[in-house]
Structure 1
Amino acid sequence: MEKEIDFEKHLKNAIQEERKLQVSFFDLVSKFEKKISNFDFENNSILISDYFYSGNGQKNIMKSLISENKVNKENCREYSTKEGNLKYDFKGVYFFLLDNKPFYVGISKGVIGRICQHLKGKNHNTSSLAYKLGLLRYEYLNNKKHLGKRKELNFVTEVEPVKQFLQKQKIAWISIDNDEELYLFEIYCSMKFKTILNSFETH
Structure 2
Amino acid sequence: MKLENTLLETLLKKQKYKKSFSEIVENFEEKLANFDPINNCIEIEKYFSVGNVPTSIRKRLLADNVFKSEDIYTYETKGGKNKTDVKGIYIFIHENTPIYIGISRRLIYRTLQHLRGNSHNTSSLAYNIGLIKYEISQGEKYIGKRKEFDFNHNVTPAKDFLFKQKIAFLPIENSEELYLFEIFCAMKLGCWLNKFETH
Q: TM-score, normalised by structure 1?
A: 0.93
Tell whether 2:126 aligns with 1:107: no
For residue 79 of structure 1, report the CA deviation from its aligned partner.
0.9
Question: 1:77 aligned to 49, 57, 73, which one?
Answer: 73
Tell whether 2:119 aligns with 1:123: yes
Tell whether 2:88 aligns with 1:92: yes
Aligned-partner Cα distance in 1 for 2:80–2:155 = 29
Using the TM superposition, name which of 72-81 and 152-161 deviates more.
Answer: 72-81
For residue 101 of structure 1, report the CA deviation from its aligned partner.
2.7
SS at match of 1:190: helix
Aligned pairs for 1:3-152 within 5 A: 5-81=1-77, 84-152=80-148
Aligned-partner Cα distance in 1 for 2:142–2:77 = 33
CA deviations over 1:42-95 (Å, ceiling 9, x no partner) = 332100110111111111111111122111111111113456553210100100
| Alignment check: 8 A CA contact 2:37 2:91 kept | no
CA gap of 1:196–1:83, structure 2 versus 1, over 3 A, is: farther
Identical positions, percent: 48
Aligned-partner Cα distance in 2 for 1:94–1:81 = 22
Cα RMSD over matched residues? 1.4
2:196 match: 200
| Alignment check: 8 A CA contact 1:134 1:159 kept | yes
| Alignment check: 8 A CA contact 2:102 2:182 kept | yes
Using the TM superposition, name which of 179-188 and 135-144 deviates more.
Answer: 135-144
Aligned-partner Cα distance in 2 for 1:115–1:133 = 16
Aligned-partner Cα distance in 2 for 1:18–1:129 = 36
SS at match of 2:35: coil
Q: Which amino acid aligns with 1:131?
A: Y
Q: Which runs of 5+ in 2 are unaligned?
A: none
1:166 match: 162
Q: Which amino acid aligns with 1:179?
A: S
Aligned-partner Cα distance in 2 for 1:25–1:9 = 31
Aligned-partner Cα distance in 1 for 2:88–2:12 = 30
CA gap of 1:42–1:193, structure 2 versus 1, over 3 A, is: closer
CA gap of 1:84–1:131, structure 2 versus 1, over 3 A, is: farther
1:190 match: 186
| Alignment check: 8 A CA contact 2:120 2:127 kept | yes
Aligned-partner Cα distance in 2 for 1:81–1:44 = 31
Aligned-partner Cα distance in 2 for 1:30–1:186 = 15
Using the TM superposition, name which of 177-186 and 93-102 deviates more.
Answer: 93-102
Aligned-partner Cα distance in 1 for 2:180–2:77 = 23
State how many pairs are aligned: 199
For residue 191 of structure 1, report the CA deviation from its aligned partner.
1.0
Aligned-partner Cα distance in 2 for 1:188–1:83 = 35
CA gap of 1:13–1:184, structure 2 versus 1, over 3 A, is: same
| Alignment check: 8 A CA contact 1:95 1:173 kept | yes
